[in-house]
Amino acid sequence: MTVSGRLKRTVLAGATLALAASTSMQAKAQEVSDDIVKIGILNDQSGVYADFGGRWSFEAAKMAVEDFGGTVLGKKIEVITADHQNKPDIASNIARQWYDTEQVDAIMELTTSSVALAVQGLSKEKKKIDIVTGAATTDLTGKACSPYGFHWAYDTHALAVGTGGALVKQGGDSWFFLTADYAFGYSLEEQTSNFVKASGGTIVGSVRHPLSNTDFSSFLLQAQSSGAKVIGMANAGLDTSNAVKQAAEFGIVAGGQRLAALLFTLAEVHGLGLEAAQGLSLTEGFYWDRDDDSRAFSQRFFERTKRMPNMIQAGTYSAVLQYLKAIDKAKTDATEPVAAALHEMPVDDVFARGGKVAKNGRMIYDMYLLEVKKPAESTKPWDYFKVLATVPGDTAYLDPAKSNCPLVTP
């Protein structure tokens, strides 16, 4: 064989090896563990927050999968769900089983701050993605932050800036708090108190109540006798609804005090009714009647659930959709590259416009200050809110450099 022939064979052999290596690397890069992408929606489906997120968040997650096309990197996407009953130990046991034996790749929703903190801690240990849409505490992107943890729909800082700030500007400069006796309630009271005081207001007192409380009479009497201009309800779900109903019975609003529902959503307003809820100020990150896109999405959600979505349910749709986009971008469902993609990619969907994910995992996007309409102002079903203001994301959310998250260098 001539020198030229041997050289040609060597070049061809090298090219073949390079092609094989490239093909192998591409196949590896597009690897999906267990040939399926499995997402777990873990939340309260039977207790105080059952309408807050509940099985409706599961439906929103399935909508996201369908809208994405049902597969990612050529592999099937599956969504499973379970009820954590607002108990961190139950939630942790379910999450551990999902990760260890059921090949779940990511867990989302996680209503109840104590639950979310527990599952995020486990997810960090297991090096798995978690995206929280249903819990509020800023600790999730603060001292308890995780390189694989993300906080999506809202948090206590955004609620404090939105609802608390609006009422102080309107003259509500003295506050008394009814606070749920667990991490979420403490965080919401602290954040709102700090904002009220920074704006020139005062805190005249507070009282804590058990989760899933039914009788608020003694707490409301303390709030009424305090003389505070605003009674801030640092609770959520049925706790807030029951407190609002009983406040009406005590004539608190009629007596001149205002109620601030610090975490109240469309779902709870619907359950309470406009007659009882009218005039309440609240902050959400999504309103179904915001624009044509939100109305079209919400109508599709309504056709499946017979209800319009709140920010938890729409936020879960967004979180699942963004997670699938991140897998597609990373060409794998491996945790490290997917987490990196989630940090890099802008969030631009029906839920969040121009959202961005900070180094501490906080998704920053605009929030909406809302007021519940009077019955006479409502012109159609689910027409419950007046949008008073848009709160820019950089105002609504805490500067990541001040979050105490060890992943962020000040």
Tens of pLDDT, residue by residue over 175-222, are 999 999 988 889 889 989 998 998 889 999 999 999 889 999 999 999
Domain 35-154+290-357 and domain 157-284+368-389, same fold? Reply is: yes
Per-residue confidence (pLDDT) for residue 389, from 0 to 100: 86
Residue 126 has pLDDT above 60, yes or no: yes
Closest CA to 391 of 158, 232, 152: 158
| Tokens matching residue 73 | 């990197």
Per-residue confidence (pLDDT) for residue 388, from 0 to 100: 87
Name the phi and psi angles at 385, rounded to 5: -120, 145
What is the bridge-based pairing of β-strands 36-43 and 385-391? unpaired
Per-residue confidence (pLDDT) for residue 2, from 0 to 100: 52
Task: Please report which confidence band the pLDDT of residue 16 belongs to, taking 50, 70 and 90 as the band edges.
Answer: very low
Residue 164 DSSP class: I
More confident residue, 300 or 410: 300
More confident residue, 357 or 259: 357
Per-residue confidence (pLDDT) for residue 7, from 0 to 100: 46
Mean pLDDT calculated for residue range 116-137: 97
Mean pLDDT calculated for residue range 254-263: 90
Per-residue confidence (pLDDT) for residue 281, from 0 to 100: 84
Domain boundary assignment for the chain: 35-154+290-357, 157-284+368-389
Q: What percent of the chain has pLDDT over 70?
A: 92
Query: How many angstroms separate the CA atoms of 20 and 97, rounded?
Result: 38
Residue 11 has pLDDT above 50, yes or no: no
Closest CA to 222 of 238, 204, 234: 204
pLDDT digits (tens, 9 = 90+) for 379-393: 999 999 999 889 999
CATH number of 157-284+368-389: 3.40.50.2300
With vertex at residue 401, the alpha carbon angle to CA 400 and CA 405, rounded to the nearest 5 degrees, is 70
CATH number of 35-154+290-357: 3.40.50.2300
Task: Please report which confidence band the pLDDT of residue 3 belongs to, taking 50, 70 and 90 as the band edges.
Answer: very low
Distance of CA 347 to the CA centre of its chain: 14
Residue with tokens 């309470």: 272
Residue 398 has pLDDT above 60, yes or no: yes
Q: H or E segment at 176?
A: strand 174-180
Task: Please report which confidence band the pLDDT of residue 5 belongs to, taking 50, 70 and 90 as the band edges.
Answer: low
Within 52-128, strands assigned E span 71-72, 75-83, 106-109
Model confidence, pTM: 0.88
Mean pLDDT calculated for residue range 143-164: 94
Other CB atoms within 10 A of residue 193 CB: 20
Residue 33 DSSP class: G
pLDDT digits (tens, 9 = 90+) for 24-57: 434 444 689 899 999 999 999 999 899 999 999 9
Task: Please report which confidence band the pLDDT of residue 248 belongs to, taking 50, 70 and 90 as the band edges.
Answer: confident
| Tokens matching residue 284 | 């959400």
Other CB atoms within 10 A of residue 257 CB: 21
Distance of CA 135 to the CA centre of its chain: 6
Per-residue confidence (pLDDT) for residue 408, from 0 to 100: 95
What's the chain's length in residues? 410
With vertex at residue 77, the alpha carbon angle to CA 72 and CA 83, rounded to the nearest 5 degrees, is 145
Tell me which of 178-182, 209-213, 251-255, 364-368 is least confident.
Answer: 251-255
Per-residue confidence (pLDDT) for residue 56, from 0 to 100: 97
| Tokens matching residue 247 | 């406040």
More confident residue, 19 or 53: 53
| Tokens matching residue 328 | 């597609």
What is the bridge-based pairing of β-strands 258-261 and 230-234? parallel
Name the phi and psi angles at 233, rounded to 5: -95, 95
Residue 128 has pLDDT above 90, yes or no: yes
Task: Please report which confidence band the pLDDT of residue 1 belongs to, taking 50, 70 and 90 as the band edges.
Answer: low
Residue with tokens 């915001």: 290
- Residue 95, C-beta contacts closer than 8 angstroms, at least 6 positions apart: 40, 42, 107, 119, 122, 123
| Tokens matching residue 376 | 């006479």
183-197, 245-259, 261-275, 294-308 — most confident range: 294-308
